[in-house]
Amino acid sequence: MAGAATPNRDSGADPMAALRIPPLGDAEFRFISGFVGRHCGIVLGAQKRQLVQGRLARRLRELGLTDWRAYCARLEQLPDEEIDALVSAISTNVTAFFREQHHFEFLRDEVLPALLARPGAPRLRLWSAGCATGEEPYTLAMVLAEALERHGKPVDARILATDLSPQALTTAQHGVYRADHVSGIDPARRKRWFEAGSGARTGDLVVRQELRELIAFRRLNLLDDWPMQGRFDAIFCRNVVIYFDKPTKVRLFSRFAEQMTGKGHLFLGHSESMFGLSEAFALVGRTIYRREGGS
């Protein structure tokens, strides 16, 4: 089981023995999966049971709990206090800079030139919905900043980056990454947009302030009310809706359409599709959709 303590070979005793967590029972798994579904829209099928057990066992130890019934009681009594830790534990924030590169090439070659060609001083808004630890919004910021440099005229441009996990958002806001984590970025681009860390950050690379100023990081549950007033020209919601059931996906795509400018673009993850879920978008590229109609 993930997170289990390693026995002390010298004494033969396990210092964590008193906090060994029993297997996750049927009733407790149903309670936890129902809780996550109601609060986050995430579907935890039976095949996720071992994952949930492994990911949450450490959380039970942190709380000093020794059984799943006690943890379910905590969820019931203190849902607002525990939801962040629960989601952070079971979420998989696997991401990388320029992941699914064709999306950023399409943004660079098709979306941004059309937006910047609009008359006057255009207003430009991008949304990274499910930004995880920041690689996606910082990649968007690099592509956007480079486009603005080529454009050479004033533009009101901003990126909103949201996620449900406060832990992931903290990492994103710090903008500090291991050198090997950014090694896949083109060297010239890496030199342009990152600087060497110092002190405790020695050996790491830090996102330059110029990029940071383009992004606003906020915690947001996509199932809750959205506080944003303006519309977005492009929304990246990749590898997020794969966890939702069909009714939740239908509602979410409808809300995305309402939150976008006419002909705005929605980017999904490589294993996600809008087929049979929305008539508000047309497929224009590999997991790239354009809003149809509207203004």
Which CATH number covers residue 40? Answer: 1.10.155.10
Number of H helices, E strands in the chain: 11, 10
| Domain match, 242 and 271 both | yes
What is the per-residue pLDDT for 243? 83
| Domain match, 81 and 211 both | no
Q: Please give the torsion angle defined by the CA atoms of residues 136, 140, 143 and 147, in that order, rounded to the nearest 10 degrees.
A: 180
| Domain match, 53 and 160 both | no
Is 72 within a domain? Answer: yes
| Domain match, 81 and 222 both | no
Q: How far apart are CA 276 and CA 278, in angstroms?
A: 6
| Domain match, 111 and 249 both | yes
Tokens describing residue 146:
């480079």
Tokens describing residue 289:
């959709």
Is 55 an annotated catalytic residue?
yes
CB count in 10 Å sphere of residue 226? 14
What is the per-residue pLDDT for 276? 93
Instruction: Tell me which of 49, 55, 74, 290 is the catalytic residue.
Output: 55
DSSP assignments along 86-134, one per residue: HHHHH------TTSSHHHHHHIIIIIHHHHHTSSSS-EEEEEEET-TTT
Residue ranges in the chain modelled with pLDDT below 50 = 1-18
What is the per-residue pLDDT for 92? 66
Is 30 an annotated catalytic residue?
no
| Domain match, 139 and 228 both | yes
The total number of structural domains in the chain stands at: 2
| Domain match, 145 and 247 both | yes
Instruction: Tell me which of 49, 61, 163, 290 is the catalytic residue.
Output: 163
Tokens describing residue 21:
């967590």
| Domain match, 110 and 141 both | yes
Q: Please give the torsion angle defined by the CA atoms of residues 83, 84, 87 and 89, in that order, rounded to the nearest 10 degrees.
A: -120
**What residues make up the domain containing 144?**
101-291
The type of residue at 68 is W
| Domain match, 106 and 244 both | yes
DSSP assignments along 104-117, one per residue: HHHIIIIIHHHHHT
Is 11 within a domain? Answer: no
pTM of this prediction exceeds 0.85: no
Q: What is the pLDDT of residues 72-107, one digit of tens each?
A: 999 999 998 898 888 878 876 668 999 999 999 999
What is the per-residue pLDDT for 115? 95
What is the per-residue pLDDT for 93? 63
Instruction: Indicate the burial class of 285 (C-beta count within 10 angstroms; 0-12, 13-18, 19 or more).
Output: middle
| Domain match, 114 and 78 both | no
Residue 143 contacts residue 211 (beta carbons within 8 Å): no
Q: Coil, helix or strand for 198?
A: coil
| Domain match, 146 and 261 both | yes
